[in-house]
Amino acid sequence: MIRKSLLDLNVLIALSDPEHKHHQKARNWLTLSGRGNWALCPLTEAGFLRVTTNPVFRPGPRSLEQAIAILQTLKGICDYCPIDESWVTLTARFASRIRGHRQVTDAYLLGLAIKENRVLVTFDKGFQYMAGDEFRKNLLVLE
């Protein structure tokens, strides 16, 4: 059985944009994982809206309404993983491997994946050190 996954923002953006350099890799992974075996969370939703509506994201940026419509479509084919624990609680088991302010959101996502016994799917190899051997099973870096 395939373990349920939690998407990192970079995978969500790649899935939603056919012109993204990793779009096909993300689609291939999605095909293998199957419908409903992956999830979004409040952090990835907010990040998606923030990034894809930014005028520098791409020529002709999406409006907020367009970005919300894309999220609604995606939410129709995936799980939703709410966050009901604090950042400190979710990251406590690997806090010694967090290396600075750029990993704050990443750590929260990894902590949520661990808590929910999910696999965090990302293109970001920086997660590997943070996860360490102990939480390697909760991480999939697409290459």
Residue 31 has pLDDT above 90, yes or no: no
pLDDT for 74 equals: 86
* Cα angle value 141/125/93 (rounded, 5°): 90
Cβ atoms within 10 Å of 68's Cβ, excluding its own = 15
Q: What is the mean pLDDT of the chain?
A: 92
**What is the average pLDDT across 102-114?**
96
CATH fold for domain 5-141: Rossmann fold (3.40.50)
Q: Is the pLDDT of residue 136 over 90?
A: yes
Confidence at 2, pLDDT banded by 50, 70, 90: low
Query: How far apart, in Å, are the Cα atoms of 75 and each of 4, 10, 33, 42, 43?
Result: 15, 17, 16, 12, 14
